[in-house]
Structure 1
Amino acid sequence: MKTLFSSISFTVGVGLGMLSGRIGYVGSHLTQLLIMGNRQPFWITPSDLGMSAEEVEFPSRDGIMLRGWFIPRASSDGSPAPTIVFVHGWPWNRLGNRAGSTLIHDQSVDFLGPAKALHEAGFNVLLFDLRNHGTSDTALPVTMGVHEARDFADAVAMLRQRNDVAGGRIGAIGYSMGANSLIYGIPLCQPICAAIAIQPVRITTFARNFTRMLLGPIGPSLFNAAVPLHRALGGPPLTQVNPASVAYDLGETEVLYVQGSGDRWGTLEDVQAMADATPHTHPVVVVPSTERYGGYHYVNEQIDSVIAFFQQRLVLEQVVGGDVG
């Protein structure tokens, strides 16, 4: 099946690329990423940072097998503890992103560093691969958060079956598509105490800016030409993928939105609209940056603030409220 869709997407890209020379190859590559995601190999493991990790495997509600690492809190005695779930972006994996794995002009984004800091601060951590990424199963197409929301919700369901997880004290950090997945997915698995949504995107904005930057003026047309194939494979109407339209369903979850000031693919205006629609939120954190990846480094660069955010909402407020299980 993968070969078939590779051939189809290559044909789409090359056929359109005949109008624009070498752009055809890049267009083909981006079409494949849009539909099939990516399978970045692991370049580091928790043990490399001195952490023990349990290999976990669990089904999504539509039968997709998902895989990841559960990292227990430091000095865990097996009693229930608060837990943070990392939800990666497109086309990354449970470790974050390793620069150079695609034709996208990108930077490395590290999850294990902040995961270790959270682990040492008393949190369990779950790192897992969304469908079509890492070692999780294939379920075409990538939907930029709509179907991936099921993966997050079922990761939470798996955690709540564990004796070492306090089921009422779960938080999450999502990046780009992963942030979209949180906004779409949290209403499916409440209660989620708190979440950090880093540069979620409205797909029409992201696709227009992203493809124009990589392919020039013809970029948005190339993207639009791939949309019928995406829909034929069961994808949602991409023009309707806008987290602001569902953010009011986040209920009691406290959400901190983060957006880079120099992001050329997403916009502060779109993220502000999501924050405005969220019942419990903070002023959007605007990270000084000159491109999109600067915003992704917020968690690594502000890890003390991130830990304090989750300690306040998953530990202190829950103890005061009497919910520690």
Structure 2
Amino acid sequence: MIAVLVALALLILLALATLLFLVPWAIARRLTRVLPRTYWDTYTYTPWEMGIEFQEVCFPSGDGLSLSGWLLPRPETDRVIILASGYRGRKSELLGACGYLWRQGFSVFALDLRGQGESQQERYLTMGYREVQDVLAAVDYVCLRIPGARVGVLGYSMGAAVAVMAAARDPRIRVVVADGGFAFQKDIIAHNFTQVTHLPPWPFVDLAEWWVERRAGFRPSWVCPADEIGKIAPRPVLIIHGVEDDLVPVEQARTLYRRAGDPKELWLLEGAKHAGAYFVDRKAYCQRIAGFFERWLA
């Protein structure tokens, strides 16, 4: 009887050890994995469908990757808005905002972050840690193409987090609009892990962070836009978030707003899910972001 109990205990311990190994490893792999290019990365809509002349460009990131972008020029202005999509996103998803801003008289530059869309495939995604270099490289590029450029950045989800961190590090970014961005990356991983598995985040997320560092060379706890957003002031920030966001809870937006310096605005949309404010009321959304850029890039 004792031998049976010992064997059972060993089996339970083995199962727990396996769970504590495999689950965090799977989280780390899922978060950092670069997906193969799909049909939709190549066969996609462009500004041409909107009747807008544009230039397809390639430009280097700070660490030597080849990045893809669309430049929608307005030769009569030096105001340019850089747009960045979210995690595993692509620039074609931004056409609605791109087209509206261009029609309002801004030059527009939409980019694919590393490992996404038509940009060079990186070995691992880092959910903002290295992607911030891509937005900084886009600023370099537009300032080279448009001397004296007055630059604003509009980012969605991970792109919003990247926009905040880029502006905190580069004073050439005069205005930031962050839609659906997170305050703390590790908190979002923990939240979504619990949503999917109904398990407590500890110890799985902490162990996953260790795996992420072994695999991709960074820790999610290092990616904290909330710790950087205060450096943007006195440049303006508009934070947009859907109240019904179940991927990045709205409290993350409130945290960003509390930590930002003035001038700042917080726009919370009832009925909007993650980075979905545009789709809840396209007209109001476009007028709000264009008006914000118009006011602060004047």
TM-score class, shorter-chain normalisation, is: 0.7 to 0.9
Among candidates 248, 259, 270, match of residue 241 of structure 2: 259
Among candidates 217, 229, 234, match of residue 211 of structure 2: 229
Residue type of the alignment partner of 1:262: E
Q: How does 1:140-179 map to 2 (within 5 A)?
A: 140-162=123-145, 165=146, 167-179=148-160
Going from structure 1 to structure 2, the CA distance change for 1:177 and 1:231 (only over 3 Å counts) comes to same
Residue 231 of structure 2 aligns to a residue whose secondary structure is helix
Residue 174 of structure 1 aligns to a residue whose secondary structure is strand
Residue type of the alignment partner of 1:54: Q
Deviations 1:271-314 (A, max 9, x none): 22222222234341111126425346468441112111111111
Residue type of the alignment partner of 1:173: L
Among candidates 89, 93, 97, match of residue 92 of structure 1: 89
Aligned partners of 1:159 and 1:87: how far apart in 2?
Answer: 14
Is contact 1:66-1:129 (8 Å) kept? yes
Residue 280 of structure 1 aligns to a residue whose secondary structure is coil
Residue 90 of structure 1 aligns to a residue whose secondary structure is coil
Aligned partners of 1:299 and 1:174: how far apart in 2?
Answer: 18
Among candidates 74, 82, 100, match of residue 117 of structure 1: 100
Give the drift of 1:196: 0.6
Aligned partners of 1:43 and 1:214: how far apart in 2?
Answer: 31
Segment drifting more, 213-222 vs 271-280? 213-222
Is contact 1:85-1:171 (8 Å) kept? yes
Question: What percent identity do the matched residue pairs reach?
Answer: 24
Name the larger-Rg structure.
Answer: 2
Q: Does 1:67 align with 2:36?
A: no
Number of the residue aligned with 1:133: 116
Say what the alpha-carbon RMSD is for the aligned residues. Answer: 2.8
Among candidates 292, 308, 311, match of residue 291 of structure 2: 308
Aligned partners of 1:152 and 1:175: how far apart in 2?
Answer: 13
Aligned partners of 2:62 and 2:216: how far apart in 1?
Answer: 16
Give the drift of 1:186: 1.4
Give the drift of 1:227: 2.9
Is contact 1:132-1:139 (8 Å) kept? yes
Residue type of the alignment partner of 2:190: R
Segment drifting more, 56-65 vs 205-214? 205-214
Give the drift of 1:252: 3.0
Going from structure 1 to structure 2, the CA distance change for 1:231 and 1:309 (only over 3 Å counts) comes to same
Is contact 1:205-1:266 (8 Å) kept? no
Give the drift of 1:130: 0.4
Deviations 1:228-275 (A, max 9, x none): 332123432212322111112213321100111112222333222222
Among candidates 193, 209, 228, match of residue 211 of structure 1: 193
Aligned partners of 1:144 and 1:298: how far apart in 2?
Answer: 26
Is contact 1:207-1:220 (8 Å) kept? no
Residue type of the alignment partner of 2:142: L
Number of the residue aligned with 1:180: 161
Aligned partners of 1:79 and 1:262: how far apart in 2?
Answer: 40
Q: How many residues align?
A: 275
Residue type of the alignment partner of 2:235: T
Number of the residue aligned with 2:5: none
Number of the residue aligned with 2:181: 200
Going from structure 1 to structure 2, the CA distance change for 1:298 and 1:313 (only over 3 Å counts) comes to farther
Deviations 1:99-140 (A, max 9, x none): xxxxxxxxxxxx112211111111111111101111112333
Residue 150 of structure 2 aligns to a residue whose secondary structure is strand
Q: Does 1:244 align with 2:201?
A: no
Going from structure 1 to structure 2, the CA distance change for 1:204 and 1:296 (only over 3 Å counts) comes to farther
Is contact 2:168-2:228 (8 Å) kept? no
Is contact 2:61-2:133 (8 Å) kept? yes
Number of the residue aligned with 2:45: 44
Aligned partners of 2:281 and 2:117: how far apart in 1?
Answer: 21
Going from structure 1 to structure 2, the CA distance change for 1:299 and 1:252 (only over 3 Å counts) comes to farther
Runs of 4+ in structure 1 displaced over 4 angstroms? 30-33, 218-225
Going from structure 1 to structure 2, the CA distance change for 1:299 and 1:112 (only over 3 Å counts) comes to farther
Number of the residue aligned with 2:4: none
